[in-house]
Chains A and B, each alone.
Chain A
Amino acid sequence: MRGNHHIVIESENLKYEFDIKRNITVIQGESASGKTTLIDLLNEHLRRRGAGGIRMQSDVSCAVYVAGEDNWEYELKGLSGKIVFFDEDYRFIYTKEFAEYAGKADNYFVFITRKPLKNLPYSINEIYGIRTTGKYHFPEQVYHEFYPIYEDKCNLIEPKARLMILVEDKESGYEFFTKVSDACKTVSAEGNAGIFPKMLEIPSDERVLVVADGAAFGAYAETVVKYAKKNGKVGLYFPESFEWMVLKSGVLEDNEIDRVLAEPENYIDSQEYISWERFFTALLIEKSQKERYMRYSKTKLPDYYLEDRNRKRIVDVIPEEIRMLLE
């Protein structure tokens, strides 16, 4: 399954409107924001086949998981080309077995949960809350929309103390950031689970800029972002991935890359790529094959990408307010 899917579901009193564009979407947020009501509306609409006073617009069909914990493989086996919604009370969605299934499924999944799904590589950009907009009071129709919980994730810090760059990557991405700034020490967290423990090791007189692959950092976002906000010495940068930065920079000078990056959801098949990060790696490897000197490898970064001009173009992908920290 691929593409961006715009969904509207409404009754005379309630309306929800949102887009689902990756295989994994998570909805969380405060109590009483309307998460379970959304599931109830969807479920009622599907059960009554549209005859329950609830209207729905969607270019793909949706399903709400209502079966048990033990037979989920059987229940989900036949589903294809659907957006499947799960309310918060299913334990199997946290298992490795479910992650294996979801990584090959021709479906998108929407989970209502505050608990991190550590076996699934989901994006920090696809974690949403629900909010109501405008003045409202029953019986007027109340409009609900999604908002990205980590939209304001830059978390600027004072450019005074020594800066350490803490990179999730341990290979090419790490190698690149070691060459970005002479003034900064670069440390690898050796994976997204290593970011928070490394943040705790920062000496009190240093600041840190965390660089992690946003496309797969969803399960770790809450702890890292909340700690950064409390601590005040942690800056955050979550590009989709290092490979996305290289593609975005234009160093490969390929117009098709720009078209893909403008709407990646139309090119990334959920059955082939469990996360966008993996797609961007595959795309960079494919697009860099035309010349030997630029052939990208995840384990060893070719010198081409570290040459002054190309390095600067990749660094320019970083938003200016974060780039300033590196100078």
Chain B
Amino acid sequence: MLRIHFGEAENVEYGPSWFKYNYKPEWFKDPFVQEMVKAVDDSTYIDGLVIDSPVLGPIPPERLSGGVKTLIMIYEKPELVFDATSCGQNCAKWLLEIGKKKDVTVNLEYMMMFDEYAPFEIFVTNEGHVLNNAEDLFLTAAKYI
């Protein structure tokens, strides 16, 4: 399940930096990672460590967006808490998709909208319970952001 801590939090990891110095080539063989890269960055995994970006051309993983790097870290290191504020609105769907596959906890410090994916299951750690609808989630997030 996706667990979110809204607002400031201690001991939160910065995804783009983690990714830059810790990524593993085999992560990109996973179709789910390839799907996230395609959806968020509009970029296609080719082979090895080559990704085709429509804007930057053939790029190594280091040049992916901060958002997709953070998504990959959340997925690959579920035991850590990453700052999902690095993830733009176009990452919301993928946070939920990761949450369907693994138990992950992220920190969010802006009003990411999950409305179009309701009903969902998000555990809000600030309050200690699961929320399923966008209205409740928005009002809860607004208390802490």
Contacts and interface: CB of A to CB of B under 8 A. Distances in A.
Interface string A199-216: 010000000000000000
A233 B115 CA distance: 18
A257 to B, nearest CB: 37
Contact of A223 (B41, B53, B145): B145
Interface stretch (B22-30, B61-69, B74-82): B61-69
Interface string B46-78: 000000011111000000111110000000000
B14 interface: yes
B40 interface: yes
Given A115-B110, A116-B110, A32 B54 contact: no
B115 A29 contact: no
B111 interface: yes
A29 B40 CA distance: 12
Given A223-B142, A223-B145, A230-B138, A136 B110 contact: no
Interface stretch (A33-41, A270-278, A284-292): A33-41
B88 A37 contact: no
A89 B109 contact: no
Interface string A216-233: 000000110011001000
Contacts of B55: 14, 34, 37, 132, 136, 138, 142
Interface string A109-143: 00001111000000000000000100011110010
Interface bracket on B:
35 or more
B90 A138 contact: no
Given A114-B85, A142-B55, A31 B138 contact: no
Contacts of B145: 116, 223
Contacts of B17: 89
B16 interface: yes
Interface string B130-142: 0000110011001
Interface string A14-31: 100000000000001111
Interface string A173-198: 00000000000000000000000100
Contacts, number: 85
B56 A13 contact: yes
Interface bracket on A:
20 to 34
Given A30-B90, A89-B16, A230 B57 contact: no
A145 interface: no
A171 interface: no
Given A31-B40, A114-B109, A227 B138 contact: yes
Contacts of B134: 230
B42 interface: yes
A115 B109 contact: yes
Interface of B: 14, 16-17, 40-43, 53-57, 64-68, 85-91, 109-111, 113, 115, 134-135, 138-139, 142, 145
26 contacts: A13-B57, A14-B55, A28-B110, A29-B88, A29-B89, A30-B90, A31-B40, A31-B67, A31-B68, A31-B88, A31-B91, A32-B65, A32-B68, A35-B66, A36-B16, A37-B55, A37-B56, A88-B86, A115-B109, A116-B109, A136-B54, A138-B56, A222-B110, A226-B111, A230-B115, A230-B138
Given A35-B66, A116-B109, 6 more contacts: A14-B56, A31-B40, A31-B41, A223-B111, A227-B138, A230-B134
